Amino acid sequence: MTGPAIETQSLRRRFGDKLAVADLSLTVDPGEVFGFLGPNGAGKTTSLKMLLGLIAPTSGSGRLMGVPIGERRARERVGFLPEHFRFQDWLTGRELLQFHGRLFGMSGTALEQRIEALLARVDLLDAAHQRVSTYSKGMTQRVGLAQALLHSPRLVFLDEPTSGLDPIGRRLVRDIIRELKADGVTVFLNSHLLSEVEQTCDRVVFVKQGRIVREMRLGSEAHGLELELRLGAVSEEAAIALAAMGSGAREEQGRWRLRLEGEAQVADVVRMLVARGVAVYGVRSSLPTLEQLFLEVLGDEVRPG
């Protein structure tokens, strides 16, 4: 595949007086695991629905694997797991996958083999003959994941895929996302569980009021290092010097924390403290967590959803 897996220009959607998505312009590369983050009401679900052709944009444009969004062809190689996967619960798990497979144009042995493989992958072989109405929330989510992968899509949209799953189920989803990435499949992940996103995504964007406010690549030092120091008594002069060496210096529960630009600065900080007579009992550096970045980027405007 050449060109971006997802490309949008100024997508906008208004519902009456309410502007759900103000201006969404993004590019997702093929094979990338992409996190789409933001507080409740940030326009994430509306954006996702526009990409899938479930909602028409008020203005702007977009393409999925080169095909304009909204066109039927744009959804041919796309899999989608909605946030609250629901389907006719009078079907059995296997019947549900057979029906979805036929909607993807699959049939015969190829479909049956694919269903068998996916039921095994999401650990539902034993429950395949049961009606979906008897499934737990986690089982429903897993059969939903299987339907999204039936036709071996090249682009998969996962909206809160670990919702309702226990730790084992969450690990299963993480493993599947890693397998998809290894196969070169693009994954567009919308999740509130930032630790999950942190473990699976290559890149994330933060969305606020339907606009991308920050984009960042994960697993690099591009966003600095979080330094935690266990110190003896810190003079006012040493505290001022410490604050000047990084950002966000603060003392919490007897430990000092500040953000440095990179690892090279750690030794400078320790030298400076020792030179000012401050006893250094412990030093620990780590990449900032996604939750820290989320709160930093979205700031005070984030309210509990």
Interaction of residue 274 with another protein, rule CB under 8 A: no
**Toward another protein, which CB reaches closer, 139 or 269?**
139
Q: Which of 3, 103, 237, 291 binds another protein (CB under 8 A)?
A: 103
Between residues 35 and 153, which has the closer beta carbon with respect to another protein? 153
Q: Closest separation between CB of residue 230 and another protein, Å?
A: 50
- Span of 49-57, 181-189, 218-226, 242-250 interacting with another protein by CB under 8 A: 49-57
The whole-angstrom distance between residue 48's C-alpha and the CA centroid of its chain comes to: 12
Q: Applying CB under 8 A, does 133 fall inside the site for another protein?
A: no
Note whether 99 binds another protein by CB under 8 A: yes
Binding of residue 154 to another protein (CB under 8 A):
no
Choose the binding region for another protein from 53-61, 177-185, 188-196, 291-299 (rule: CB under 8 A): 53-61
Characterize the bridge pairing of strands 78-81 and 280-286: unpaired
54 binds another protein (CB under 8 A): yes
Choice from 56, 120, 222, 295 touching another protein (CB under 8 A):
56
Among 8, 140, 147, 190, binds another protein (CB under 8 A): 147
Instruction: For residue 139, give Cα distances in angstroms to 26, 92, 119, 133, 136.
Output: 33, 12, 11, 10, 5
| Interface region with another protein, contact rule CB under 8 A, candidates 79-87, 116-124, 173-181, 294-302 | 79-87
